[in-house]
Structure 1
């Protein structure tokens, strides 16, 4: 049950003052009010008077049990931290915040979420870890824009089969320390998922996860498995045997890269050999041409001394054998068509071998190693 904005329940018309440093905190212009760690059973209703300026409200570890009914008046609020409190249920007022993007509810006493939670269509990040969820809250299936869902340390045994279609844009899903004895099949259809944490469950074997094309990090530690899950080559694994598997995978990648480099160098050597052979053939052709030219000059010098009958006999012999006729015989030097051009025999190198960048694309992406990194990196 919540109090009205600006009044203390049971004291009609009395206004509660804002925290003493509230105005000072808001004076920096970023709309942030940090009240975490200040012990209070309920939040002062006067907070609602800050609706035009308040964008981020942090109330972690304040021992809150209720919130003002008029909290929805904070229409510019984008971040609300209510973790590590004593909320037995989520106040309906939270479900009416139109611009809320980040909501932290971890470490309370929640057993579910109200149906009105589906109204939070601007929500992108939800942390609801360390509560008492025995079943996946159905209102979450109405939030297709959700990107990060932290549900670790609850009592979940499975996931709804329509999760993949309901949350097509989900990037990070934390399900560590639940009570799952098998990996939910629906996860195999969540192709946009990049981070999956199933640490500390009861899963003895994992299916082949190579079909999860978007996966970057998979944590399976503290499950009764005998070997790491089968994943794509770019996936970072966290768990027993993961480091050895990734080291072996890296060695294989380097070996393939070295083989590709050697193959590319071999192809380059082959094309140079072909070019060298072409240059030698051209030189030999020129030398033969010079010799033929010298013999023709010598024959012209002795032409008057030759026997005319012998010369005619030779031409008649060629005609009878059908090699070529007088009209085709020995066109004059320099006449077009006598020596075919060299162009076309040796195709140019450009376009024959693709650029090296096509073989070795640069590694892309960031693979965090520690849980704190991918909780607090700001990506989710």
Structure 2
């Protein structure tokens, strides 16, 4: 029995050894297969890797893994690898310390790789259209980050890790599952553009009223039925609220462009009010000049001396001075007051009149008022969908990536 037992143990050991050898062989084959896949680069990629160009675009190449050779290109400043099937990035990508722009949107990434959090010179990071639900605390290492796009993911809670990014100006977090914003969001004082479209807000987040430096705010495609006055947001320049169940635009500052239901009528009415105020100011200024006896602002140039006609003499209310310097005015019988509109003095030239009446020609009006003139054209706002462009600008670019609610 003892011999049989030992023999069985030896046979089992031999079988186990064979299984171990087979497992090692399989792992080696897989590694070799991976290396082989990495070596088989799509047409044209080899040339790009050897070009020495600081910009490398590997978008839409059907990569399941980022080629390891990319991580050895220390001269890279911008790397675009969107629209592939990447689930992660190799750890060795952390070697690319010169990288300033990294775009890996439209992939299958579920967690931000730790290696990305070591790229401390990144200014722009595009992670949209992946499978993210949260951000790692290590993201706070990216102190130079100015633009972060994480739209079309699965965020249910606003990532507070972003509070530790002191220079973040543009945050694109639309098309997620946010219902509320944290009450201390105002701590992100550097933020200038905030895209919250396509989330699940049913009331306007009050904390946004404390973000006085915001220039762009997009709340398209939510379920907000009422907006408070946004006049306290003095830096605001664009507010978009399209596809929300509201009856009228919110109150905003005079310089704010609004986009949404009823926005065009609102802008037209506001422009008309501006025009009325401008004209009233011009008339008041002219009247003040007339009363002060100063030279008038000439709004038309008359050709031919015959322009000073009997009709003008009969209809116009004029003001001049007599030889003693006393003003002579004509009373306006209808209003019961005095109205003076100074005209140019007669220089003594002979006047010639036609028998058929006075003929005169006027040239184009000359406007000397300050500011633009509203010409009565209908305001048109085109809500064009904007193409996705990677611009390397230190200012807000993404001022309007696409309006995905249009």
Question: What TM-score, normalized to structure 1?
Answer: 0.70
Q: Deviations over 1:190-234 (max 9, x none)?
A: 111111110111111011100000111111111111211111111
1:279–1:214: structure 2 CA closer, same or farther, 3 Å change rule? farther
How far does residue 372 in structure 1 lie from its aligned partner after superposition?
Answer: 3.9
Q: Distance in 1 between matches of 2:64 and 2:58?
A: 13
Partner of 1:300: none
Q: Secondary structure at the match of 1:80?
A: strand
Residues 185 and 207 in structure 2, CA contact (< 8 A), matched pair in contact too: yes
Partner of 1:40: 63
Partner of 1:101: 123
More off after superposition, 8-17 vs 28-37? 8-17
Q: Secondary structure at the match of 2:115?
A: helix
Residues 65 and 87 in structure 1, CA contact (< 8 A), matched pair in contact too: yes
More off after superposition, 40-49 vs 243-252? 40-49
Query: Which structure: greater helix fraction?
Result: 1
Partner of 2:249: 228
Matches within 5 A, 1:130-169: 130-165=152-187, 167-169=188-190
Partner of 1:255: 276
Q: Secondary structure at the match of 2:56?
A: strand
Q: Distance in 2 between matches of 1:200 and 1:154?
A: 11
Q: Secondary structure at the match of 2:171?
A: strand
Unaligned runs of 5+ in 2: 1-28, 297-318, 328-367, 375-379, 392-396, 399-406
1:252–1:210: structure 2 CA closer, same or farther, 3 Å change rule? same
How far does residue 279 in structure 1 lie from its aligned partner after superposition?
Answer: 8.5
Question: Rg larger in 1 or in 2?
Answer: 1
Q: Deviations over 1:22-50 (max 9, x none)?
A: 56446776511111001121112221110
Partner of 2:259: 238
Unaligned runs of 5+ in 1: 1-7, 285-355
Q: Deviations over 1:109-155 (max 9, x none)?
A: 00000010111111111110000000011111111211110001000
Q: Distance in 2 between matches of 1:54 and 1:112?
A: 28
1:65–1:368: structure 2 CA closer, same or farther, 3 Å change rule? farther
Partner of 1:78: 100
How far does residue 156 in structure 1 lie from its aligned partner after superposition?
Answer: 0.4
Q: Deviations over 1:3-34 (max 9, x none)?
A: xxxxx984599694495645644677651111
Matches within 5 A, 1:1-380: 10=31, 16-17=38-39, 19=41, 21-22=44-45, 24-25=47-48, 31-51=54-74, 53-165=75-187, 167-272=188-293, 281=324, 360=371, 370=383, 372-373=385-386, 376=389, 379-380=397-398
Residues 49 and 70 in structure 2, CA contact (< 8 A), matched pair in contact too: no
**Root-mean-square deviation (Å):** 3.3
Question: What TM-score, normalized to structure 2?
Answer: 0.66
How far does residue 269 in structure 1 lie from its aligned partner after superposition?
Answer: 1.1
Q: Deviations over 1:293-339 (max 9, x none)?
A: xxxxxxxxxxxxxxxxxxxxxxxxxxxxxxxxxxxxxxxxxxxxxxx
Q: Distance in 2 between matches of 1:21 and 1:38?
A: 11
